[in-house]
Structure formats: C-alpha cells, structure tokens
Amino acid sequence: MNGIMSRIITVQNYPMKKILAFSGSFSSDSINHQLVVYTSSLVKNDVSIVRLADFEAPIYRNELETESGIPDEIQKLRLLFDDADAFIISTPEYNGSIPAGLKNTMDWLSRTGGKIFQDKPVVIMSTSHGGRGGQSILGHLSAVIPFWGAQLVGAFSLPKFSENFVDGKMDDEHKIELLDLIQNLEKELT
C-alpha cells in the first residue's frame, strides 16, 4: 500500500506537462501529420494533436485585421498555444520554404499579443518521400522560429518516408534519433 501511495503522491507533486503537436501541412493525408501522431505516441507527457486546417483564417492583411479583427479560429488556437508547455511541429517543405498555411497561421497568431510560442520549448521535424527528408525547411525554420518566440530544442528529419516508416512503425536507426530528441524535450519540461 505504501508503494502505491507514494506513486500517487509523486504524480500529484509532478503534474503532467501539456504538449501541443501539429503539422504545418493542411493536407488530410499528410505524412508530416502521420509523423506528429507517431512522435506523440512516444512522449510521456500529455499531448494534444491538432490540425491547423481546423483553424483556417484568411490570408493576413493589416487592412483585414483592422476591419474584422482576429478571426475566431485563430483566437481559439491562441488559447491552445497559451495552455501548452511545449510544442512538436512537423512540416513539409514547399518549394524550399515554409508552407503558406503554416506561415499565415503564424502571422495571425503574432497579432494576438506576445510571442507566438512564448519562450516555450519546441521540437521541429520534417519528412518527405525524398532522400533529404525536408532538411531545407528544417534549416529555414530553425532560423525563423526563434523570432516567433520558440526555445528550439532540436530538429529531426525522416528521409524516404515510405521506406523508413512502414505499417505505422519507424525504422530503428531513425527511431533512436527521434527518442533522443523527445527525451531532450521532456528534460526541458522538468
């Protein structure tokens, strides 16, 4: 009984941290969303997975914000960002850069007051069917995301998605690398 009680006390003294996970892709069959779901299953803390497509907003323009204010969906998303203790993001590379939907969402979130990621830990990832696994976007995003208020913990690239992620399982080599990155994220939350 004492062992059970001490475990309960430990859980009460150290509440689970909340991680918000999402893909930068608005595609319903996104391989980057699949990577987010898989990665979330490896995390010990509480993870909420969202799709940015569920928080759509018009293309940001200052005039539109002045006329209509912040879209309701962006305000809802901002509440999720406020509630999160950390973030996991996996995004595709579109023409060597950030997908327009992801960038537009960040532009709107930047207008809600304060830094987008509020100096919280963030892991970024990318995957593709090609041999580089979205490395160009990871380089680009690594340079940009600190301006959005992210404490970048690290980046992960999964090349050749259809070869290295089969039947919902990642190959051992890449899984070890991903587990190390997740462990570093969780250290930031203690």
178, 36 in Cβ contact below 8 A? Answer: no
Tokens of 137: 């976007």
**CATH number of residue 103's parent domain:** 3.40.50.360
- Rounded CA separation 171/76 (Å): 36
Position of tokens 């070890």? 176
Written as tens digits, the pLDDT of the chain (190 aa) is 444 443 444 344 456 899 999 999 999 999 999 999 999 999 999 999 999 999 989 999 999 999 999 999 999 999 999 999 999 999 999 988 899 999 999 999 999 999 999 999 999 999 999 999 999 999 999 999 999 999 999 999 999 999 999 999 999 999 999 999 999 999 999 8
User: Do the domain assignments include residue 11?
Assistant: no
- What is the chain's percent helix, strand, coil content, to nearest 5? 50, 20, 30
User: Do the domain assignments include residue 2?
Assistant: no
User: Do the domain assignments include residue 1?
Assistant: no
User: Do the domain assignments include residue 7?
Assistant: no
- Rounded CA separation 59/108 (Å): 9
Q: What is the pLDDT of residue 2?
A: 45
Position of tokens 């939350």? 189
149: domain range?
16-188
User: Do the domain assignments include residue 8?
Assistant: no
Q: What's the number of domains the chain is made of?
A: 1
Name the pairing type of β-strands 165-166 and 150-158. Answer: unpaired
- Rounded CA separation 72/58 (Å): 11
